[in-house]
A and B are shown apart, each in its own frame.
Chain A
């Protein structure tokens, strides 16, 4: 497939960072435990951790990140020929958050797609954007974001929360990120050399559940979210290594060719554990989770935004992403041209 290029990135994180003291108070939990076992220092919520009052939506964050990416790209809105938005937590089922973001940006008369996915959605958006450009489009927006206001709230009863639900409170935060893709090298001139996007969950139990209620089952007591953190701890590190080798092998690159590595971002501690188990290489790690928390579909864009100023001509980078909801392997290979 013809290379596409990342011309620019943008990000949006709501409000002030929420530190572990505040998170512990919100949950009635132990700051020391969060420090030791999660390691993530701060995250952002589009709602007040003291009162639960919601200040902003996913559309707010995605529109902010997308507008920033377009401005940074040097392109005009008239140049944007498609929009793809990936999320696990849309503001409404319909209209899609993707169309709401298009409207806020002032876009009209263009294809707008929404991908329902966990953390691999950003890579799925990149994959779809690449296909659209291969099909003749010249430039477009890919966006990823997630928000927690429907799933987390101040409750101060950590001891009563089932462990597979409690873990989500200490991992996740809100955020969005975006990138402008172009057919020709423009802006930052980062070529997307390869995209890996492969579902490998046949016959496997989900690692992450995110449910929703409708009018007929709104009183159900089934859990809205649950994470099989033991399965994730066991399976994500080896899968991350396999993704790395798949990307390298497909391109004929060696480990020594890689200047930067963007590993999966689960929590500061878990990401460190994944990186320890990756093959030794000199590549610099580009992570954000310790500062941003796990922002789901925003994560690869937040990492890209940190990578962009570091990349020099000829530098190569690999991004790795494991979606544990149903075990999707995802990743990408980049080269500044």
Chain B
């Protein structure tokens, strides 16, 4: 997978759903507060960080902690390229 693959929100939500196994509606789930995303927790954050790195997106964890929603995380993914 190349770095460009996750710049689209759909592709990003797909890995959250398929690879993390979280039940996130497309696209409404992107704006849910992370605390409201079923199954979202710190360990799934770690798994997401790994998935992002495997896809060539290295986003610092301390920046991800500022995110309130999956859309915020996706914005950081785009910001860090």
Seed contacts A161-B47, A164-B43, A166-B47; 9 additional CB < 8 Å A-B pairs: A28-B50, A29-B46, A29-B49, A30-B50, A36-B61, A36-B62, A37-B46, A159-B19, A159-B50
| A230 in complex: contacting residue of B19, B41, B47, B49, CB < 8 Å | B41
Asked if B42 lies at the interface with its beta carbon under 8 angstroms from chain A, I say yes
Which residues of B have CB within 8 Å of A103?
A: none
In the complex, how many residue pairs between chain A and chain B have their CB atoms under 8 Å apart?
43
Asked if B60 lies at the interface with its beta carbon under 8 angstroms from chain A, I say yes
Q: Nearest chain-A residue to B51 (Cβ)?
A: A159
Q: Nearest chain-A residue to B19 (Cβ)?
A: A159
**Interface positions of A from 161 to 179, Cβ below 8 Å from B:** 161, 163-164, 166-167
Tell me how many residues of A have a C-beta within 8 Å of chain B: 16
Asked if A32 lies at the interface with its beta carbon under 8 angstroms from chain B, I say yes
Asked if B54 lies at the interface with its beta carbon under 8 angstroms from chain A, I say yes
Report which B residues bind A (CB closer than 8 A). 19-20, 41-51, 53-54, 60-62, 65
Whether A33 pairs with B54 at a CB distance below 8 angstroms is no
Whether B54 pairs with A159 at a CB distance below 8 angstroms is yes
Asked if A107 lies at the interface with its beta carbon under 8 angstroms from chain B, I say no
Whether A163 pairs with B65 at a CB distance below 8 angstroms is no
Which residues of B have CB within 8 Å of A37?
A: 42, 46
Asked if A113 lies at the interface with its beta carbon under 8 angstroms from chain B, I say no
| B41 in complex: contacting residue of A28, A36, A163, CB < 8 Å | A163
CA–CA, A167 to B19, complex, Å?
17
Q: List 7 A-B contacts (CB under 8 A).
A: A29-B46, A30-B50, A164-B43, A166-B43, A166-B46, A229-B43, A230-B41
Q: How far is the CB of B45 from chain A (nearest CB, A)?
A: 7
Q: Nearest chain-B residue to A159 (Cβ)?
A: B50
Whether B62 pairs with A163 at a CB distance below 8 angstroms is no
User: Taking A30-B53, A37-B42, A230-B41 as contacts, is the C-beta distance between A163 and B61 under 8 angstroms?
Assistant: no
Whether B47 pairs with A159 at a CB distance below 8 angstroms is yes
Shortest 3 CB-CB distances between A and B: which pairs? A163-B43, A159-B50, A32-B61
Whether A167 pairs with B62 at a CB distance below 8 angstroms is no
Whether B46 pairs with A158 at a CB distance below 8 angstroms is yes
| A163 in complex: contacting residue of B47, B49, B51, B60, CB < 8 Å | B47
Which residues of A have CB within 8 Å of B51?
A: 159
User: Taking A159-B19, A159-B54 as contacts, is the C-beta distance between A33 and B44 under 8 angstroms?
Assistant: no
CA–CA, A163 to B19, complex, Å?
12
Q: Nearest chain-B residue to A157 (Cβ)?
A: B50
Which residues of B have CB within 8 Å of A230?
A: 41
Which residues of A have CB within 8 Å of B44?
A: 163
CA–CA, A36 to B46, complex, Å?
11
Whether B43 pairs with A36 at a CB distance below 8 angstroms is no
**Interface positions of A from 18 to 33, Cβ below 8 Å from B:** 28-30, 32-33
Q: Nearest chain-A residue to B44 (Cβ)?
A: A163
Which residues of A have CB within 8 Å of B49?
A: 29-30, 33
Which residues of B have CB within 8 Å of A30?
A: 46, 49-50, 53, 61
Whether A158 pairs with B62 at a CB distance below 8 angstroms is no
CA–CA, A30 to B58, complex, Å?
10
CA–CA, A164 to B43, complex, Å?
8
Interface string of A55-81 (1 = CB under 8 A from B): 000000000000000000000000000
| A167 in complex: contacting residue of B20, B43, B53, B60, CB < 8 Å | B43
CA–CA, A161 to B54, complex, Å?
15
Which residues of A have CB within 8 Å of B48?
A: 159
User: Taking A30-B53, A36-B65, A37-B42 as contacts, is the C-beta distance between A158 and B60 under 8 angstroms?
Assistant: no
Whether A158 pairs with B61 at a CB distance below 8 angstroms is no
CA–CA, A121 to B75, complex, Å?
48
Q: Nearest chain-B residue to A165 (Cβ)?
A: B43
